[in-house]
Amino acid sequence: MKNRRTFLKHSGLAVVGAGLFAPTKLLSAAGLASGTLAASGLEALPGKKPLIKRSYRPVNYETPVDYFDDVITPNDRFFVRWHLTNVPEIAVADWKLKIGGESAERPFELTMEQLKKDFPAVELIAVCQCSGNRRGLSDPHVAGVEWGYGAMGNARWKGARLKDVLAKAGIKPDAVEITFDGAEGPALDKTPDFVKSLPLWKAVDDNVLIAYEMNGEPLPHLNGGPARIVVPGWTATYWMKKIVAINAVAKPLQGFWMNPAYRVPKGMFPTGERFTSQEKDNVATTPITEMVVNSLITNIKDGQRFSAGVPVVVKGMAWDAGYGINLVEVSTDGGRTWQDAVLDRDHGRFSFRLWQFSFQPSQPGTHVVMAKASNRQGATQTLELIFNPAGYQNNVVQRIAIQVA
C-alpha cells in the first residue's frame, strides 16, 4: 500500500536540506539562557530576510524583535517552525487534500482549484504563535527549541472555512475529533509522524480555515504552502502546515504529539476553551489550547541610552486568544507605578493590537520600562513565570533597563 512517505519519495518533490543557509552574524540577547545564545545567529532562508536560527534540523527560525514594526508581519519576516526534518516543497498543481475518516459519510479529494472554486473564501487577521515562544527565557532552563521573543507573527490569512469542507464530507453524529496530517515527515521510521487533532466543536468554528494565502500572496513553502490549517486564538501546534489529509474520527486521537507533547498541568493557565476529549480523570495534564494574554515592547532595548529631559516613545503590541485587548499599562519605574498606553485601532480580535506610550525622564540613571496587557475577560500578564517543564505560555511582563544621562 502506498503511504504518504512513499508518495513523497517517488513524486520527485524537493525536500528542505543543506545549502539553504547563508550565515551572517551572531546576536546577543539579554536574558536568554547560554544555550539559546549559542544558537542565535542571523541567517537567510530562501524568500526570507535574515532570521534568528534556533535549529537547522528541523528548520526553526524566529523573527527578530525589531522586525515587528507594524501590525502585520510580512511573509519574508515571518518565523519558521517545523517539527520533523523532511519538508517537501509541493507544487500547487500537484497538491491534493484527502477528506475522510471513519466518521465521514462521503470521503472525497480536493485540488487547489476545487478548494478555491467550490468553497467561499474568507479573510481574517490572526496571530500565529508557537506554544513554546519565549521558552529560552525559562528559569530554570527547560528542554526544547530555545525560542526568544519572535516565534510568532501576525498575518492576513485567506482560505476556505474548514466547516464548509467538512460539511461536504458529511460528518456523522459519532465524530469527536478532526485529525490533521501534513506532508512534513520524519527522517527515521521510529520518529512519530506529526499528526494533530481538534475537538469537533472547534474544527467547525467559523474562524478555522484551510488557508492558501498569506498577506495577499500564495502561502509560502516555509510557512506551510500550498495550504495549512489556521486556528485563530489557539497556539500554532494546531495550525498544521502542508496539510494533505483531514479525517473525522469517533475516538480521541492517540500519539506522541497529543500526549505527552503539548500538554500542561490542568488548571495551570486560565483557559476558556478546553480540549476535554483529550483529558482523562487519572491524567494530571491537559492539551494546551488558547494563547494567554501577552505583550511585547518592540522599539527599545536593554542598555539603550537616552538624554534627560527628552521625550522617550515606547512602542509595542499586545494580543490574546481573541477575547480582545482593552488595556496596556506601562511602568517606567520598575513596576512601582503604572500608566495607560494609547491603543492603536483594532484590526480584529485575533490580531496584534499596537500601542505606544511617551514619557520624559528628568533624572539620569537607570529606568526600568515594563508593559502589561489585559483583555476584556479581565486576564492580565503575570509578573512571575508560571513554570512548566515544557516552557509553554510564557507571558511574564518584560523588564527593559534604559540608561538616561
* pLDDT tens-digit map of 95-143: 999 999 999 999 999 999 999 999 999 999 999 999 999 999 999 999 9
Same domain, 199 and 258: yes
Domain edge (last residue) among 251, 270, 287: 287
Same domain, 282 and 315: no
Residue 38 lies in a domain: yes
Same domain, 97 and 233: yes
- Whole-angstrom Cα distance, residue 327 to residue 238? 28
Same domain, 326 and 376: yes
* Residue 373 contacts residue 294 (beta carbons within 8 Å): yes
Is the pLDDT confidence value at 402 over 50?
A: yes
CA distances for 373 relative to 327, 355, 396, angstroms: 6, 10, 10
Checking 379-387 for CB contacts under 8 A at 24+ apart, the result is: 379/270, 379/292, 379/293, 379/320, 379/323, 380/293, 381/293, 381/294, 381/295, 383/335, 385/137, 385/138, 385/139, 386/268, 386/269, 387/138, 387/140
Same domain, 167 and 183: yes
Same domain, 70 and 208: no
Summarize the confidence of residues 21-50 as an average pLDDT. Answer: 61
Residue 270: pLDDT band (50, 70, 90) is confident
Residue 210 lies in a domain: yes
Of 313, 303, 315, 309, which Cα lies nearest the Cα of 366? 303
Of 305, 302, 308, which Cα lies nearest the Cα of 370? 302
Is the pLDDT confidence value at 21 over 50?
A: no
Same domain, 111 and 62: no
What pLDDT sits at residue 187?
83
Residue 18: pLDDT band (50, 70, 90) is very low
Tell the residue number behind the cell numbers 506529526, with chain if given. 194
Residue 107 lies in a domain: yes
What pLDDT sits at residue 9?
35
Is the pLDDT confidence value at 33 over 90?
A: no
Is the pLDDT confidence value at 76 over 90?
A: yes
Is the pLDDT confidence value at 10 over 80?
A: no
Same domain, 40 and 139: no
- Of all residues in the chain, what percent are helix, strand and coil, respectively (each to 5)? 15, 35, 50
pLDDT cut 70: percent of the chain above it: 90
Summarize the confidence of residues 372-398 as an average pLDDT. Answer: 96
Same domain, 76 and 99: no
Same domain, 107 and 208: yes
pLDDT tens figures, 237-250: 999 999 999 999 99
Domain that holds residue 31: 20-81
- Report how many domains make up the chain: 3
Summarize the confidence of residues 332-338 as an average pLDDT. Answer: 97
Domain edge (last residue) among 272, 287, 302: 287
Residue 189 lies in a domain: yes
